[in-house]
Structures are given as structure tokens and as C-alpha cells.
Amino acid sequence: MSYYPTDSGHLSRRLVAFLAIIAVHALVIWAFISGFANQGARYVQTILETNIIQTEKPKDLPPPPPPVDLKERPPVQMIAPEINITVPVEAPPPPITNVTTQPQAPPPPRAIVPGTPVKITFQPDVNDYYPEVSRRNNEEGRPVVKICVNATGKIDSVDIATTSGHPLLDEAALKVAKLMKFKAATSEGRAVLSCPTLPVKFVLHGE
């Protein structure tokens, strides 16, 4: 019997490889078992849920309403509502009475205050204003002077209303009129403007 020497290193490598193969197979078997277990659990759960759904009894539903006969309809009664319409009645207009208005009495007449004419308060002597030329020519005349006296008694204007025929006597008459003094005329108690006429006599022989 021959004896062969053994290589210890070679055996160690083979042992390691064998253990590695065993570990890989164990891991594969464990993964397969765990995956199969999960799938099996899911399958069992699905079966149980299906059985529970199938075993649940439907709830009792209320009975359906009776069929309605569409051929025969019950008569419909229409009740008319009571409507009260109130029509306003206008009151008749009041009777028209003929009202006779009495004419108002006219106001009493106003008391008429008689007016007063212009009064001469001063008049110069006409002979003092007799023109000397007219004296020598024996000229005589009676000119008429229009004198306008205002409400204050002042003379506003003096004019010859009627000439004497002698211009010198007319001028002398105007001078006499301008020197005269007057009291204003009145109308209804108030002083007013007045334009009286006044004759001025020029006479040589004292007529």
C-alpha cells in the first residue's frame, strides 16, 4: 500500500468553495421561501375577502311602491280663491254755489285842498325903470311878462309873452320882473312851480 502525501492548501480552498456554494443555495432557498410565503399570504387574503363579500347578505330594501294606474286619473277639484275687489268711490264734488261778490265801496274822496296862485311880495316902481329915450319919444306901452317861479319862490325864467311894440319898453319890463319877489304857488297844500303872466304898464301922463 502506497501513501500519497496530501496538499493541505488545496483542501482548504476546496472547503471554502463548498461552503460558499452551500451559502448561496441557502440564500436562494430562503428568498424563494419568503417570496412564496408573501404571495401565499396575499392569495389567502384575497380568497378570504372574496368569501366575505360573497357571504354578506344584501340588506332588506323597502318594498317598491304600488304601480300607478295611468289610465284612470282622479278628478282634480279646483277651488277658486275668493277675491274681494274694492272699487274706490269718489265723493261727489261739492255743489257750486253762486257767490255774488258785492262791489267794494269806493274809497272816500280825498279832501281837495284848493291851490293858491303866486303872490307878489315885492314890486319895484315902474317909473324908476322907464327908459329916458322912450320918455323923449313919448313911447308908452303895456308889455306882458311871463315869470316862472319855482317851489322855493325863486325866479327861474322871465320872457316877454306879449310885446308892447317898443323894444326899449320890453327890455325895461324884463328888468322890473327880475327884481320882483314872489311867494310860490301851492297845489294840494304843497308848493309847486308856476309860470304866471304879469302886465307892466309904462304911462307918461299918470294914467
116/1: higher pLDDT: 116
Q: Which residues lie below 8 Å from residue 144, measured CB to CB, with a gap of 6+?
A: 160, 161, 162, 197, 198, 199, 200
Provide the residue ranges of all domains of the chain, joining segments of one domain with +: 10-49, 119-199
136/93: higher pLDDT: 136
* Residue 103: all three cell numbers together: 262791489
Residue written as grid cell 430562503: 30
Q: Would you say residue 170 has pLDDT above 70?
A: yes
Q: What is the pLDDT of residues 3-40, one digit of tens each?
A: 444 556 667 777 878 888 888 888 878 766 766 556 65
Q: What is the pLDDT of residues 65-78, one digit of tens each?
A: 776 655 556 566 66
| Distance (Å, whole) CA 71 – CA 148 | 127
Q: Would you say the C-alpha torsion 30, 34, 39, 41 has a positive or negative sign?
A: positive
**Is 119-199 a CATH 3.30.2420.10 domain?**
yes
**Global model pTM greater than 0.85:** no
**Helices and strands: H and E segment counts in the chain:** 3, 7
